[in-house]
Amino acid sequence: MKVTQDTNASLTKDLTIRDILDAIKVLPKGKAPGHDGVPMEFFHEYAEEVAPTLLQAFATMLNSGATLASINKALITVATPLWVK
């Protein structure tokens, strides 16, 4: 089976924030967390905040052809905005 030029263009285009946000939207809720222990509900709740970091990590891996050594590790800190009391 050959890959068409349109399919190739779609598969090789640069990732965008929209791609990351769309992927987060379809993550299943109510499932056990993965190896990193982070439940999918976290990504749904903080999609806008984590999308830029995920985009940078995924783009780095795609452009280098290698996964990051820390891909299954996470340190997540959720800070309360100063205006929330």
Q: Judge whether residue 82 has pLDDT over 70.
A: no
Distance CA 59, CA 78 (A): 24
pTM above 0.75, yes or no: no
**Structural domain boundaries of the chain?**
5-64
**In this predicted model, what pLDDT tens digit does every residue of 5-29 receive, in sequence order?**
999 888 888 899 999 999 999 999 8
Interacting residues of 77 by C-beta distance below 8 A, sequence separation 6+ = none
Residue 44, SS3? Answer: helix
**In this predicted model, what pLDDT tens digit does every residue of 18-72 receive, in sequence order?**
999 999 999 998 888 877 778 899 999 999 999 999 999 888 888 888 776 766 6
pLDDT at residue number 49 = 93
Residue indicated by tokens 């349109």: 6
pLDDT at residue number 85 = 57
